[in-house]
Amino acid sequence: ALDGRCLVQDRLGDDVLELLPVAVQVPHRGLEHAPGGALADLFCGVGLFAACLGDRFARVIGVENDERAVRDARNNLLRDRRTGDEVEVVCADAAAVLARWREGDWRDGDLRYKAPDWPLATVVLDPPRTGLGDAAAAILAALGPARIIYMSCDPATLARDSATLAAGGYGLARARVIDMFPQTSHVECLAELVRR
């Protein structure tokens, strides 16, 4: 959109609908003065968060374990006026990527990201219902990004992972419940954690 908002277009028959997803609108706020560095979008799917937030970062790294989604994410991010030097999307397990980053580098496959070259400024993650897990959350905290934006479809796993991140030096800046599935018991939770 002209005002800087990220719109999602959806086609319904011959009609094209433009949507401003609240799930993207919320983490978009507060990033006006985000540090350069890198945005890592873990469990990135087709790259929705990376596409909407990536223009505030020098580099965007997407991690997704579904090959078809990785192909779509690459296309979406490169179409979004970025070059191959600014964008990387890898088909891999997010926990495995975090473990490699903790060691300082991961050059297997097509991911060339090296932590000292591009400081990890913000991590966005939208894991499956099982969450990130204690081990991966502890590694993420040790990597020390300034901000973690965590979208969760299970409040219990968000609470578990947030406790691990808090033990690693993060505090909750804000949280929001998003009713993406009206008239059901399912909710999405969005938490922003910042390094203390």
The pLDDT value recorded for residue 136 is: 97
6 in a domain, yes or no? no
Whole-number average pLDDT of the chain:
81
Which tens digit of pLDDT belongs to each residue from 20-45?
555 555 555 555 545 568 899 999 99
66 in a domain, yes or no? yes
Is residue 80 scored above 80 in pLDDT?
no
39 in a domain, yes or no? yes
The residue behind tokens 């991690």 is 63
* Domain count within the chain: 1
4 in a domain, yes or no? no
Helices (H), the chain: 22-28, 48-53, 67-79, 94-102, 134-143, 155-167
5 in a domain, yes or no? no
3 in a domain, yes or no? no
Known active-site residue 52: no
> How far apart (Å, rounded) are the C-alpha atoms in residues 59 and 129?
28
Which tens digit of pLDDT belongs to each residue from 117-174?
567 899 999 999 999 999 999 999 999 999 999 999 999 999 999 999 999 999 999 9
Q: What CATH number is associated with residue 94?
A: 3.40.50.150
| Residue 71 three-state SS | helix
> How far apart (Å, rounded) are the C-alpha atoms in residues 190 and 174?
8
Which of 44, 52, 91, 153 is catalytic? The answer is: 153
Q: How confident is the model at residue 2 (pLDDT cuts 50, 70, 90)?
A: very low
List the domain range (segments joined by +) for residue 165: 21-195
11 in a domain, yes or no? no
9 in a domain, yes or no? no
